[in-house]
Amino acid sequence: MRSSARTCFLLVLALNLAGAILGSVPARADGPSFDCRKARLSAEKAICADPQLSAIDLLISKAFKDFEPAFGGDKRMIARGLIADRNACGGDTACIVSALNNALQTYGDAQSWVQDYNIALIGKKALEAAARNPAGTDQPLPSRIGQCASTHIETLTTRLGDDPLETAGPEAGSAATFTNGGTAVSYDREPGLAASKVGEPVEMCLISIPRDCPRDDERGRVYYSLDRVAKGSWALPDSQHLCGGA
């Protein structure tokens, strides 16, 4: 009975959160960058059906023209990897907006309204995923964009891991590890982490995989996470240095 009530609560919270945030995202009329009459893939059809996704797709097309890889990579190969991430989403709009936002950031044209739309949709998906797993049973760390999984907080420390987060000052940053092997790091005191406690269940969704990186450097994957008890959330990378960093 308790699990059923918690499931209903999470579903209601998902709908309320999505409605509040989506209501603040302005409608867009531009895009996409391709002819929707020729759309064949599920991801393409989903983009055509959503004005915001269409506008983001057009922004990506424009940003790509001026994009120069940071580490000497092949520009078109990077683009193919980003498109593959998008197409792997099928018709999942939360996954698609994450892949599109990742592409836009890769090309150097990150925009706040796109980030807001991304967090709105992936936040709703995280809550729905949590509702489907009311027991919070641990699941493997997500490996593809748009994938969500349940886990638990294993440690909460400062950025360098030398002090408990609860008693540290804001200049010490934040870090967390999770029982599925995931990590989260910030140079700032992340409010969502600071409000959480070790052992609490968390829903994690992968929203970004760096594609413009040196060979074999996979640091900097970004996960959106939701504490199912404290209700705090955060979107943080898995390393204090992104790919190509120190």
1-12 tens-digit pLDDT: 444 444 444 445
Residue 13 has pLDDT above 80, yes or no: no
Distance in angstroms (rounded) separating the CA atoms of residues 207 and 60: 17
Q: What percent of the chain has pLDDT over 90?
A: 81
- Structural contact between residues 65 and 55, judged by C-beta atoms closer than 8 angstroms: no
pLDDT digits (tens, 9 = 90+) for 118-127: 999 999 999 9
- The reported pLDDT for the residue numbered 30 is 81
- Structural contact between residues 14 and 203, judged by C-beta atoms closer than 8 angstroms: no
- The reported pLDDT for the residue numbered 91 is 98
Among the residue ranges 16-30, 36-50, 195-209, the one predicted with the least confidence is 16-30
- The reported pLDDT for the residue numbered 1 is 41
Query: Other C-beta atoms within 10 Å of 127: how many?
Result: 25
- The reported pLDDT for the residue numbered 3 is 45
- The reported pLDDT for the residue numbered 17 is 52
pLDDT grade, residue 25 (50/70/90)? low
pLDDT digits (tens, 9 = 90+) for 59-69: 999 999 999 99
Among the residue ranges 48-57, 87-96, 237-246, the one predicted with the least confidence is 237-246
DSSP-based three-state secondary structure for 183:
strand
- The reported pLDDT for the residue numbered 26 is 55
Residues 6+ away with beta carbon under 8 Å from 49: none
The average pLDDT across 225-233 equals 96
- The reported pLDDT for the residue numbered 29 is 58
pLDDT digits (tens, 9 = 90+) for 56-111: 999 999 999 999 999 989 999 999 999 999 999 999 999 999 999 999 999 999 99
Residue 19 has pLDDT above 70, yes or no: no
Helix (H) or strand (E) holding 184: strand 183-186
Q: What is the pTM of this model?
A: 0.88
Residue from 85, 200, 194, 195 nearest 146 by CA = 85
Average pLDDT, the chain: 90
Please state the domain extents for the chain. 2-119, 137-237
The average pLDDT across 169-181 equals 95
